[in-house]
Amino acid sequence: MSAKGASISSVAVSELLLMYNAGRTTANYYVPVLSTMHLMSSLGSSKLDHPFSKRLTDRIVFDFGNDFDPIIEFGSNAITKVVNGKNIDILRQSIRSLEKGQQRNIRENFNFLLANEIHCVSLTPAIVEDAYQLLWDFRNSGHNLKAAFRNSWNDILILATARSRGGHLMSDDSELNRFAASSLQDLGGVNGLVEITLDAPAKRTPRKQSRESKGYTNRGWRAHFDKAG
């Protein structure tokens, strides 16, 4: 299946561009969301070892009550604008404190996105709400979360993003594929991957809901969206 013209979640882009680190509330680097005037001012005053502060990017705080530690997603809107605007200059400035090999890998992956005209989709409150529901269903239907919870949460966010748009999601994650097969739509194989066919929300086939299917709302699972600044 060709990647040409495909859509990709900002979460998948952040993984591809090595933005995530082992921490739940930090990132390897931060992509700013500023006006051109403010951006140039920041470029002129930023230190070489810390190009951009986390204050200059958007963030989403995911709260899971007492079930999991909070997670912060940095730059969903910012990285979406950089990819869709093909702004390699901002990306270069954002990653300049990283090791040279990391910078090279990030630039190569970014150029792959541009060469294939891949469109990035940022997280929205509706996508996150659906992701919380999917996580609740995933956890309560006997599926195994990964040792690093963030990896499972990222998978769920990517699945929710794909479902918000309808179409197809390519996945090689066996646990996610089993969940999709039992809870969502049709699966098919292609090039060693599994192709998950998803309905857009307006056309979605209702899934079976238990009486506690919205139980996550009573456990303090909430998301807070913050703009830069």
Instruction: Provide the residue ranges of all domains of the chain, joining segments of one domain with +.
Output: 7-226
Whether the predicted pLDDT of 84 surpasses 60: yes
* Distance (Å, whole) CA 1 – CA 16: 19
Report the half-sphere exposure of 193 (CA within 13 A, side-chain side).
Answer: 12
Expressed in angstroms, the distance from the first to the final Cα of the chain is: 41
Mean pLDDT computed over 63-72: 96
The answer to whether residues 94 and 46 touch, using CB atoms and an 8 Å cutoff, is no
Structure tokens at 197: 């066919």
CB-neighbour burial class of residue 130 (10 A; exposed 0-12, middle 13-18, buried 19+)? buried
Q: pLDDT tens-digit profile of 9-60? A: 999 999 999 999 999 999 999 999 865 545 555 454 444 455 788 999 999 9
Res 192 pLDDT > 70:
no
Instruction: Look at 193 and 143; give whichever has higher pLDDT.
Output: 143
What lies within 8 Å, CB to CB, of 26 at 6+ separation is 54, 72
> Which amino acid, one-letter code, is at 98?
L
pLDDT at 73: 98
- By three-state DSSP, how is residue 205 classified? coil
**Residue 123 to residue 75: CA distance in whole angstroms:** 10
Q: Report pLDDT digits (tens) over 94-124.
A: 999 999 999 999 999 999 999 999 999 999 9
Integer CA distances (angstroms), 214 to 7, 51, 137, 143, in order: 29, 42, 9, 18
- Give CA–CA dist 5/73, Å, rounded: 25
Which helix (H) or strand (E) covers residue 187, if one does? Answer: strand 187-190
Over range 66-75, report the average pLDDT.
96
- pLDDT at position 155 over 70: yes
Q: Which residues are within 8 A (CB) of 165 and not within 5 positions of it... i.e. 6 or more apart?
A: 7, 121, 200
Using only C-alpha atoms, what is the Rg of the chain? Answer: 18
State residue 174's pLDDT score. 79
Q: Tokens 């999709």 identify what position?
A: 180
Lowest-confidence segment of 65-69, 202-206, 223-227 by average pLDDT = 202-206
* Apex 134 CA angle, 222 and 228, nearest 5: 40
More reliable by pLDDT, 32 or 200:
32
> Rounded mean pLDDT of the chain?
82
74 compared with 174, residue with greater pLDDT: 74
In this predicted structure, what is the pLDDT of residue 62? Answer: 98
pLDDT reading at 190 higher than 90: no
Residue partners of 96: CB distance under 8 A and separation at least 6: 48, 51, 103
pLDDT of residue 127: 94
Separation between Cα atoms, residue 75 and residue 119, nearest integer Å? 16
